[in-house]
């Protein structure tokens, strides 16, 4: 028996084949486009991570340069901005825009940075205080002027040690020997004792020396920076044996 295929049936068959083939190509094109988009996203993410890494390396090198430290020193440094004041301790504590997620920990030293008075560019102007509280993305820095703040210091000119103690509206250097040769204008730096602050960080200069009721000599300290005007700081993330 012979079967005849009409022209209409032939055309319809060819059309269905064409549509089927076009559909397969369309699906392949959509899939290829999706794969290309996913690959492009991965490439962009990798590029972003590489850029962020390079920026972090450069920033860390810049911050170490500010501190004049070499790579053997066991801590990293990162910049932060003052974003607020503590309402319960307005004049002696500031909030910073770095926290636990950035590697900041309690007792991390906080330094002020900015243009140097000598005109030699940007650098560390002086010690501000230490981190007293941390949350995920913020931290509170206790300023040196706070009565709860104390810093082990030394006077390089005479090699004498003392303790910089916050007095609220001013700072004193306590426990100087009665025979101390400390005098106004002497530079004061951190001594490195106590395990919180590394040695050699600028603290301030002596403005007045007197005998304290405790039987020691003490001096009034003029900080290297205006603690009330600090806007940008440097946080030292110290490497501790327990970490």
Q: Which residue has the tokens 């590394």?
A: 198
Query: What are the structure tokens assigned to 103, written together?
Result: 């590697």
Question: What pLDDT, in 10s, does the model give residues 178-213?
Answer: 999 999 999 999 998 988 898 888 999 999 999 888
What end-to-end distance do the CA atoms of the chain give, in Å? 92
Question: Running DSSP on this structure, what letter comes out for residue 193?
Answer: T
Q: Are 145 and 167 in contact (CB under 8 A)?
A: yes
Flag whether the pTM goes above 0.85.
Answer: no
Question: What pLDDT, in 10s, does the model give residues 140-169?
Answer: 999 999 999 999 999 999 999 999 999 998
């Amino acid at each position: 028996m012979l079967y005849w295929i009409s022209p209409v049936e032939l055309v319809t068959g060819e059309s269905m084949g064409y549509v089927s083939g076009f559909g397969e190509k369309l699906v392949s094109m959509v899939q290829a486009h999706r794969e290309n988009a996913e690959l492009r996203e991965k490439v962009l993410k990798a590029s972003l991570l590489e850029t962020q890494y390079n920026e972090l390396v450069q920033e860390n090198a810049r911050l170490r340069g500010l501190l004049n430290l070499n790579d053997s020193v066991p801590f990293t440094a990162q910049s932060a901005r003052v974003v607020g004041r503590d309402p319960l301790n307005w004049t002696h504590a500031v909030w910073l825009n770095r926290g636990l997620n950035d590697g900041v920990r309690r007792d991390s030293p906080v330094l002020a940075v900015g243009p140097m008075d000598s005109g030699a560019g940007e650098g560390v102007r002086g010690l501000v205080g230490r981190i007293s509280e941390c949350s995920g993305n913020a931290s509170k820095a206790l300023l040196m002027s706070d009565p709860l703040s104390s810093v082990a210091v030394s006077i390089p000119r005479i090699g004498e040690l003392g303790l910089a103690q916050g007095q609220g509206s001013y700072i004193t250097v306590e426990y100087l020997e009665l025979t101390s040769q400390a005098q106004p204008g002497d530079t004061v730096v951190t001594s490195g004792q106590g395990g919180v602050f590394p040695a050699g960080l600028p603290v301030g200069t002596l403005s007045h020396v007197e005998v304290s009721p405790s039987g020691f000599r003490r001096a009034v300290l003029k900080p290297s920076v205006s603690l009330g005007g600090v806007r940008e700081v440097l946080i030292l993330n110290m490497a501790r044996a327990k970490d």
